[in-house]
Amino acid sequence: MKRILVTGAGGQIGSELVVKLREIYGDANVIASDIRVVEGEVANGPFEIVDVTDEQRIYQVAKDYQVDTVMHLAALLSATAEKIPKKAWDINMGGLMNTLEVARELNLQFFTPSSIGAFGPSTPKDNTPQDTLQRPTTMYGVNKVSGELLCDYYYERFGVDTRGVRFPGLISYVAPPGGGTTDYAVEIYYEAIKQQKYTSYIAEGTYMDMMYMPDALEAIIQLMEADPTKLIHRNAFNIAAISAEPMDFAKAIQKHIPQFELTFEVDPVRQKIADSWPNSIDSSAAEEEWGFQAKYDIDRMTKEMLEKIAEKLK
Ligand code: AKB
């Protein structure tokens, strides 16, 4: 049985991951933590305030609860990191280093997500291979590539059981993303229900990989349970589900809300980030090494997103 500390538990992934982990491993075995008090289901179980730039605090909480695993989610996303690059470095890299150190000291299994943001404009854009050129041009991307290498280093040098995936844009109706480039793909569903129209800050024809949250959560759990002898890559597995541009979301929404209208008002900062990322990535290494398989395509996800948001906004 695992006993897991989750950092950044109030964020988009954490809000759902904690609930799912508690269903599997029991409420007492999943310790949620965040820099501030969180509300909602995450609060219905062990919770601690943890600032990931404070290594001592991470160590103390991990030790007090005798955890054997840490899932490190606390990070600033791509658009925010572009606005405050120095702070992004401190939180994204400092937080990762601190959490890895605690994992080394207490011999914990370790998960942290990388992202499609770890790729850059010189990376092959279509069906981006698992192992390829990574020269990102954003602070977030620099953090993510460095993080992938750091996790590999902690495994090679100290034997820490580090594991990770490169997440696409994650889409969910539970907690909103904050400060990402792919956030439009969540906002579009809320606006479809509220106003039957949406103005996209990402230009028509800009493809990026996206994934529905249940597939993302399943991937984390499956990878953490995977037989280590089968893992060649360990950290930064490409995982893909849906490669889409804004019009693909509009068309999927129009199957349920025919009057839905999509217009464009491009934000140059986020567009530049999106243009530097792949159109679609190849997840065959994850499929072969630990059996990754996404269940949701854009139509199945859209139906569920619209139903759940309509219920939520009633
Ligand atoms: C972002 O847009 O910054 C994130 C990501 C793809 O890592 N959603």
201 is catalytic: no
Is the Cβ atom of 279 under 6 angstroms away from ligand 1?
no
Report how far ligand 1's centroid is from the alpha carbon of 85 (Å): 15
Give the per-residue pLDDT at 134.
Answer: 98
**166 — pLDDT class (breaks 50, 70, 90):** very high
**pTM metric for this prediction:** 0.97
Q: Which of 140, 171, 184 to mutate to test the pocket of ligand 1 (most atoms within 8 A of CB)?
A: 140
Is the Cβ atom of 116 under 6 angstroms away from ligand 1?
yes
Give the per-residue pLDDT at 83.
Answer: 96
Domains and CATH numbers, the chain: 4-168+212-238 (3.40.50.720), 169-210+242-279+296-312 (3.90.25.10)
Is the Cβ atom of 115 under 6 angstroms away from ligand 1?
yes
Q: Which of 76, 77, 116, 209 to mutate to test the pocket of ligand 1 (most atoms within 8 A of CB)?
A: 77
Atom of ligand 1 nearest to the CA of 170: 8
User: H or E stretch including 124?
Assistant: none
- In a 10 Å sphere around its CB, with 0-12 CB exposed, 13-18 middle and 19+ buried, how is residue 94 labelled? middle
CA angle (214 as vertex; 11, 169 as ends), nearest 5: 60
Cβ-contact 297, 254 below 8 angstroms? no
Is the Cβ atom of 80 under 6 angstroms away from ligand 1?
no
Report how far ligand 1's centroid is from the alpha carbon of 70 (Å): 21
DSSP assignment of 178-223 equals -S-STTHHHHHHHHHHHHSEEEESS-TT--EEEEEHHHHHHHHHHH
Report how far ligand 1's centroid is from the alpha carbon of 28 (Å): 31
The stretch 29-39 carries a mean pLDDT of: 96
CA-proximal residue: ligand 1, atom 4 (nearest): 180
**35 — pLDDT class (breaks 50, 70, 90):** very high
CA-proximal residue: ligand 1, atom 1 (nearest): 180
Bridge partners, 104 (sequence order) = none
Atom of ligand 1 nearest to the CA of 140: 3
The stretch 183-195 carries a mean pLDDT of: 98
Cβ-contact 48, 31 below 8 angstroms? yes
Give the per-residue pLDDT at 138.
Answer: 98
Give 281's DSSP letter. Answer: B
Is the Cβ atom of 186 under 6 angstroms away from ligand 1?
no
Question: Which amino acid, 288?
Answer: E
Q: Which of 25, 59, 65, 140 is catalytic?
A: 140
Bridge partners, 200 (sequence order) = 264
**What rounded mean pLDDT belongs to the chain?**
97
**19 — pLDDT class (breaks 50, 70, 90):** very high
- CB-based contacts of 300: which residues, under 8 Å, 6+ apart? 212
Which candidate, 113, 119, 18, 20, places its Cα nearest to that of 74? 113
The stretch 278-298 carries a mean pLDDT of: 98
Q: What percent of the chain has pLDDT over 70?
A: 100
**177 — pLDDT class (breaks 50, 70, 90):** confident
Give the per-residue pLDDT at 1.
Answer: 77
The C-alpha atoms of residue 224 and residue 11 are separated, in whole angstroms, by: 20
Cβ-contact 160, 110 below 8 angstroms? yes
Q: What percent of the chain has pLDDT over 90?
A: 98
Is the Cβ atom of 181 under 6 angstroms away from ligand 1?
yes
The two tokens of residue 176 are 């909103």
pLDDT at 299 > cutoff 80: yes
pLDDT at 247 > cutoff 80: yes
- CB-based contacts of 50: which residues, under 8 Å, 6+ apart? 7, 33, 34, 35, 57, 58, 61
In angstroms, how far apart are the furthest CA atoms of the chain? Answer: 57
Q: Which of 112, 115, 137 to mutate to test the pocket of ligand 1 (most atoms within 8 A of CB)?
A: 115
The C-alpha atoms of residue 144 and residue 161 are separated, in whole angstroms, by: 18
The stretch 254-270 carries a mean pLDDT of: 98
Question: Which amino acid, 105?
Answer: E
The two tokens of residue 201 are 């800050």
Give 260's DSSP letter. Answer: -
Is the Cβ atom of 77 under 6 angstroms away from ligand 1?
yes
